[in-house]
Amino acid sequence: MASREPSRPNVVMIMADDLGPWALGCAGNSEIRTPTIDRMASEGTRFTEFYCASPVCSPARATLLTGQMPSVHGVHDYLDARHVGAEGQDFLGGQRLYTDDLADAGYRLGLVGKWHLGANDRPRPGFVRWLAHGGGGGPYYGAPLYDQSGPVDEPGYVTDVLSDAACDFLEDESRTEDPFYLSLHYTAPHSPWKNNHPAEYTDLYRDCAFDSLPQEELHPWVPIVDGAPIGGEPDTRAALEGYFAAVTAMDAGIGRVLSRLAQLGLDEHTVVIFTSDNGFSCGQHGIWGKGNATFPQNMYDESVKVPFIMRQPGRIPAGEVSDALVSAYDVAATLRELCGIAQPQEDGPGRSFVPTLMGHPEQDRRERVVVFDEYGPVRMIRTRSHKYVHRYPHGPHELYDLIADPGERSNMIGSPGAGALSEGLHDQLNAWFQEHTRVDLDGRALPVSGAGQVDTVGPGRSPFPLATAFNTVPRY
């Protein structure tokens, strides 16, 4: 019945799409309904300062899988082409993923949902189940899905389709003796929102005041498309209802998956992770969207912070809330340690945070008090007290005192006394990326505008659309 060995737990990685760190009841939002995820947090450990490595989906997902930054794995923007078929291109081809380590260790792998790293219709090595979205997202009914045999005709609500497929995978794997790993990657709560979600969920928010999301004055960097911010929809009220409904529908699906684990007697033998690829703003700072909701691309906390919860009854402490600074590039190393797999000799910047997860932060040997982020020519360093954002080659740059100004409202660049602090953080940022960057894939030299990536980076290729194509939608 799957793995029951403490040193070889089963793993379920649940990933949302564009879920803001604020959009959970357990994170303090009293308006959104997320009872399953809230229960996960009460039964496990929730990290409040967890950061994606790039505030847009494809590079963020690539970093989770490789443990490397975009300037090493080469995915610098959301992928806007080469998804499936003869033209489909594996943007992580030849690179080592943590799923390869799991497969080599005897794990049986499954993917259900969004891959969005190219060649989405072709199962990666070690996967015995593959049900992938054909692109980056789209309407919630009749989503383009592909399994090992080709296109899947499925007209249903995709959140339910993916939840049901995940339950079926667990049922099948419970009959084997090997440990399993499941990536359950929802497209929720990514747009579209209006008229895309079942009434049983949208009706929950018909009378919601949405006091948790006051709509601020439009940020000056936000482009307008068809009368709405590029990352939003013209009907803001319907978008808010749809976003919240998408989250609650996903929460219900996760509830079915966790119930199936319990029914199969696998609760205590399975690490369950809940997170998102990147964050999202629904009006905060006058922005709808994530890092590519503005030009220049933004690094506000709403874009770069994501929810992160880990649960395994009897092993991972229950009801704990950690404010440790942790990044997506740490996940691969953490999963290897949890599953008893040796770390590779040539690893990336990530370090396992298992000691912190297990309630022993004093044993955490990462010796790191900062996290880093990048989006093409935009890079960020975040310490316990400050955030510095550098835009190559000329700016604008930003510096925020996160203790006095947690909402990032007052840019300190140019303020008296801020020069030495910003210069020191800039030097630290440069030194870190110099250590963890491939020269031929360095995002500082690439014309990444937030309009997508259509090819791998290399000589003779034009992987990024011209800036004039910036206003294309949707922006996955």
Nearest to 310 by CA among 274, 335, 266, 346: 274
Bridge partners of 275, per DSSP, are 15, 308
What torsion, rounded to 10 degrees, do the Cα atoms 239, 242, 248, 252 define? -150
pLDDT tens digits, 117-136: 999 999 999 999 999 999 99
DSSP per position, 404-430:
T-TT-----TTSTT-HHHHHHHHHHHH
CB burial of 172-206 (b: ≥16 within 10 Å; e: otherwise) equals ebbeeeebbbbbbbbbbbbbbbbebbbeebbebbe
**% of the chain at pLDDT higher than 70:** 95
Residue 65 has pLDDT above 70, yes or no: yes
Domains of the chain: 10-363 (3.40.720.10), 371-468 (3.30.1120.10)
- pLDDT score at 1: 59
pLDDT tens digits, 305-314: 999 999 999 9
- pLDDT score at 359: 83
d(CA 149, CA 256): 26
Residue 471 has pLDDT above 60, yes or no: no
- pLDDT score at 469: 41
Q: Is the C-alpha dihedral spanning 414, 416, 422, 427 positive or negative? A: positive
Residue type, 408: E
Q: Which tokens hold the place of 112? A: 């259900």
Q: Is the peptide bond before 393 cis (omega within 30 degrees of 0)?
A: yes
Residue 24 has pLDDT above 80, yes or no: yes
pLDDT tens digits, 37-46: 999 999 999 9
Residue 5 has pLDDT above 80, yes or no: no
pLDDT band (50, 70, 90) for residue 474: low
Mean pLDDT of 58-64: 98
Supply the mean pLDDT for the chain. Answer: 94
- pLDDT score at 408: 98
The DSSP bridge pattern shows strands 270-276 and 150-152 to be unpaired
The rounded Cα 408 to chain-centroid distance in angstroms is 22
pLDDT tens digits, 171-211: 999 999 999 999 999 999 999 999 999 999 999 999 999 99
pLDDT tens digits, 338-396: 999 998 877 789 999 999 998 877 666 655 668 999 999 999 999 999 999 999 998 99
pLDDT tens digits, 400-423: 999 999 999 999 999 998 999 999
The DSSP bridge pattern shows strands 386-391 and 398-401 to be antiparallel
pLDDT tens digits, 212-246: 999 999 999 999 888 889 999 999 999 999 999 99
